[in-house]
Amino acid sequence: MRNVGLVTTLTACVTNFIVRRTATLMFQAILLIGFSKLLRALVLYFDNYITVADHDPTIMDRVSTLPYPSEG
């Protein structure tokens, strides 16, 4: 009976280690994927903004003449 308790304890320890390690790796992978998608979205946004400004040099003049919301 003593061996059964030892085997159960060792199995629980190994399982706990594997689960914690897997959860940590999965969490890191989720963070990495989310960060890479966010970074890609920011790059595409600024690339699109710069491209529009490059192709249309009057865009900044038109943006600066837009009325404020309070002016109607």
User: How do residues 10-21 score in pLDDT, each as one tens digit?
Assistant: 888 887 887 777
Which residues neighbour 72 within 8 Å (Cβ) at sequence distance 6 or greater?
Answer: none
Place of tokens 């190994």: 14
- Looking at the predicted structure, is the pLDDT value of residue 45 above 70? yes
Count how many residues are written for the chain.
72
Q: How many domains does the chain have?
A: 1
For residue 53, is it within any domain? yes
What is the pLDDT of the chain when averaged over all its residues? Answer: 72
Which residues neighbour 53 within 8 Å (Cβ) at sequence distance 6 or greater?
Answer: 59, 60
For residue 26, is it within any domain? yes
For residue 71, is it within any domain? no
For residue 13, is it within any domain? yes
Greater model confidence, 40 or 65 = 40
For residue 70, is it within any domain? no
Please, which pLDDT band fits residue 61 given cuts at 50, 70 and 90? low
Q: Is the pTM of this model over 0.95?
A: no
Tokens of 33: 């994927």
Which range marks the domain in which residue 53 is found?
Answer: 2-65
